[in-house]
Structure 1
Amino acid sequence: MQVSTVDVEKAASILKLLGDKTRLTMVKLLDSNDCCVCEFVEIFKASQPAISQHVRKLKDAGIVREARKGQWIIYSLNKESEYFPLVQDVLHHIPSQDFKLQELAEQGLRISCE
């Protein structure tokens, strides 16, 4: 198995992005689920502009990608990213955050933008 490497500058930049608790939690959620900003707003009890800023940083780094679904934008982990193996290694050490989405579902707020 070939292990891909990322130069130190890029790795530091990705790890700095993931060093933020909100972004790290977002990425862990996206590891097993696709989400829209409105779900993150509910999960993190933060404003839509604040959440959009976090998502934009992850997207600009290539960690996250977006897909349009009607008028909504759904975010997912970018498994084609050159940083995906590094991100996956980090996520391997983080406990599942899926309970946050289960709580949303129980409140009837899962994909509340539809």
Structure 2
Amino acid sequence: MNEVSTRPWSRPHDWAEVVIGVVAALSPLWLSTSTAAMWTMIVLGALIALDGLASLAMPGMVYGEGIQIVLGVLMFLAPWVIGYTEFNGASWTSWVAGVLVVIAGAVAMPVAQAAHRMAGSH
């Protein structure tokens, strides 16, 4: 495990989560959405970005990556559950963001576990 992945503010997958969350949260500015779709994307996007920031600040916080995966799944399912599949741009943004967040969270999980173990050994 390299030092970069244990230092705060240094993990690229957590930065990716922040960027994906911000893009999802802001996407109703340029996409056609319903009110429900807009608020779903804003809230889930903001939660994804905030959890990414928390993971960046505390690299050994393993449960943050689990939360990120759950948020990604929720983002992916949102067009069907909330009922905005007729808005193609919003739906595709949710689906792509959801998949990317799940991938980033899954990739970050072993890194966070290793950082957690290293923090405990000091």
TM-score, scaled to structure 1: 0.32
Higher strand share: 1
Higher helix share: 2
Q: Which has the larger radius of gyration?
A: 2
TM-score, scaled to structure 2: 0.31
